[in-house]
Structure formats: structure tokens, C-alpha cells
């Protein structure tokens, strides 16, 4: 389904990005495998992961080249798209799966931890989309597949920086989808649940044993996310744009847009007393996700 497609996959050296790059190539795409090879906390650089993925694709008879740039750098993002054009003659899709974590409790979080997550996840998505946009507009086709997270939708302890950045990716995607519709360019976001090195590391940090981690990996591997990402750059999904989608093990899903779940009116307008008397009890009765009831 991806014959003659040219796709840039960021984060392609490990985890979801790696599995997606291999899957896309197996379905006929030519792939730029981009990954600076950083550690789970963003430190260091290593060309080996991206090169290993590209070599594996080539060994299986597919077409791939490695790129060692960072999505957080606009010049590197531009170079990834230019490499696709130079090597394969066109660009049809950007699957932006690159990123890492810098967890920390909110009251201890530094500005550096905040800036890093905004830079690699939100600015990184901006950089990749911006680099490909002129080419997509000119050819009147193209697909952006951005990666958000369940943490963006419901929050997660010690991940205010990551959650905020990934929630920003949703807003970016939805606005790009609206702006680029006239050019027949689409944008969607995936919120994956999979056992990657980042998730496994978090599990170990929380005291989970290796046997349990292995069981989770068997049912929710990173390879389970790849088909959805690949489909979103295929011609079959050319009319699908502006969606947040989920993938977890054997399950795929799509999210509704946020809408009010209940409305109340107060004749003459609301006062603090009326809110306490009517609105507060209604919210508590509804339940929601109950964040206020969780222990710190």
C-alpha cells in the first residue's frame, strides 16, 4: 500500500520509530530513518541506531538511508526533507515519532527540563511540518503523522513538561489540518500505548519486576503501533485529517473533540455562592477523572 511513497520517520533508530520505519519499508516505501541516537534522557549522540535500522531495511530488500539530525533543530529538520528529495526524488509523508523524557515532579521541575520537552516534542513537530510544507503544497498531497501521548489527554504524574508539550502537538496538528486542507494535505496525531525503552525505564523506576515488564511487552510491543502510522501516509487515508488516534496492542481508537459534558444556566448570571450551591455539586456528581481525590 506504500509503493512509491517516500517517508521521513524520526526517532527511527529505536522503539516505535524503528518499527514504523521497518514496516513502511516492507510495504513498499522508501524511508529516511532519522535519529540522533540520544539516551532516554536526551543526552549523548550515537549514529548506530539509525544506521542499524536503515541497514536492516536494506538487507530485507527495502530502500532506506540514515540521518543523524535532531528534530529540535530547524536546520536538521530541513536537511531530513532535503535528503528524501535528493535520495528518492520526492516526499510524501512525515512520521514524527522522535523524542525522549525528562520527568520530574512539578514542584521540583527546572526550567531546563521544561524547555527540553517543549523543544524536542512541540518545536520538533513544528520544525518537521514546516520543512515539508512547501513541498506538500506544491504537489498538493502529503501526510503529517505527529505523535502525542495519553499523558497529553489525561495527564501523568511527574510529566507536566511532557504532557504540556504533547498536548501542544494536538493543537498544532488540528490547526495544520485546517490550514492545509485546501492543498489536499492532511495531518493526524497518534497517542500510542506501547512498551518502549522509555516506558520500560519508567516501570523499573517505579519498582516493577522484569517478568511483568516482559509480559506487557509481549502484548503491547512498539510494533503494534506501526501499521496505524503507515496507514495514515497511505492513499487510502487521503480523506482522514484532524484526528487524534490511539493504538494499544490489538486495539485502535479515535478520540472525540473536547466538548462540554453538561451545561447549567443561572438567571441573572453566576455568583460565587450560586456556583458553590449548584455548580460544584453537579461536577462532583459527574465524577470526571477525579484528580482532586488523588493523594499527592
H helices, E strands: number in the chain = 12, 8
d(CA 256, CA 171): 14
Containing 161, the helix (H) or strand (E) segment is: helix 160-180
Full pLDDT tens readout for the chain, 296 residues = 999 999 999 999 999 999 999 999 999 999 999 999 987 777 778 899 999 999 999 999 999 999 999 999 999 999 999 999 999 999 999 999 999 989 899 999 999 999 999 999 999 999 999 999 999 999 999 999 999 999 998 888 899 999 999 999 999 999 999 999 999 999 999 999 887 666 666 656 666 767 666 666 566 789 999 999 999 999 999 999 999 999 988 899 999 888 888 899 999 999 999 999 999 998 888 765 555 444 43
Q: Where in the chain is CATH 3.40.50.720? A: 6-254
Catalytic residue among 23, 100, 162, 243: 162
Please say whether the structural domain 6-254 has been given the CATH code 3.40.50.720.
yes
Distance from C-alpha of 104 to C-alpha of 81, rounded to nearest angstrom? 34
Indicate if the alpha-carbon torsion angle 50, 55, 58, 59 is positive or negative. negative
Nearest-angstrom CA–CA distance, 97 and 229: 10
Collapsing DSSP to helix, strand or coil, 126 comes out as helix
Grid cell digits, residue 184:
489536499
Q: What is the pTM of this model?
A: 0.88
162 is catalytic: yes
How many angstroms separate the CA atoms of 164 and 195, rounded?
21
Amino acid at each position: 500500500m506504500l509503493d512509491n511513497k517516500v517517508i521521513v520517520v524520526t526517532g527511527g533508530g529505536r522503539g516505535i520509530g524503528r518499527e514504523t520505519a521497518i514496516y513502511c519499508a516492507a510495504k513498499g516505501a522508501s524511508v529516511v530513518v532519522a535519529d540522533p541516537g540520544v539516551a532516554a534522557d536526551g543526552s549523548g549522540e550515537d549514529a548506530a541506531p539509525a544506521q542499524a535500522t536503515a541497514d536492516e531495511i536494506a538487507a530485507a530488500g527495502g530502500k532506506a538511508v540514515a540521518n543523524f539530525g535532531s528534530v529540535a533543530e530547524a536546520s536538521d529538520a530541513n536537511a531530513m526533507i532535503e535528503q528524501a528529495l535528493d535520495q528518492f526524488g520526492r516526499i510524501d509523508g512525515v512520521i514524527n515519532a522522535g523524542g525522549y523524557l525528562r520527568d520530574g515532579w512539578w514542584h521540583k521541575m527546572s526550567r531546563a527540563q521544561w524547555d527540553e520537552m517543549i523543544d524536542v516534542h512541540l518545536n520538533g513537530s513544528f520544525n518537521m511540518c514546516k520543512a515539508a510544507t512547501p513541498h506538500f503544497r506544491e504537489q498538493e498531497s502529503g501526510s503529517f503523522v505527529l505523535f502525542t501521548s495519553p499523558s497529553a489527554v489525561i495527564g501523568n504524574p511527574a510529566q507536566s513538561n511532557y504532557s504540556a508539550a504533547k498536548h501542544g502537538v494536538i493543537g498544532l496538528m488540528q490547526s495544520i489540518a485546517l490550514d492545509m486542507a485546501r492543498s489536499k494535505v492532511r495531518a493526524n496525531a497518534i497517542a500510542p500505548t506501547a512498551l518502549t525503552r522509555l516506558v520500560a525505564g519508567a516501570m523499573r523506576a517505579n519498582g516493577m519486576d522484569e517478568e511483568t515488564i516482559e509480559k506487557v511487552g509481549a502484548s503491547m510491543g512498539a510494533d503494534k503501533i506501526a501499521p496505524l502510522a503507515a496507514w495514515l501516509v497511505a492513499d487510502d487515508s487521503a480523506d482522514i485529517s484532524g484526528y487524534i488516534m490511539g493504538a494499544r496492542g490489538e486495539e485502535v481508537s479515535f478520540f472525540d473533540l473536547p466538548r462540554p459534558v453538561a451545561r447549567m444556566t443561572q438567571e441573572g448570571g453566576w455568583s460565587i455562592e450560586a456556583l458553590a450551591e449548584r455548580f460544584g455539586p453537579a461536577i462532583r456528581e459527574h465524577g470526571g477523572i477525579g484528580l482532586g481525590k488523588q493523594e499527592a
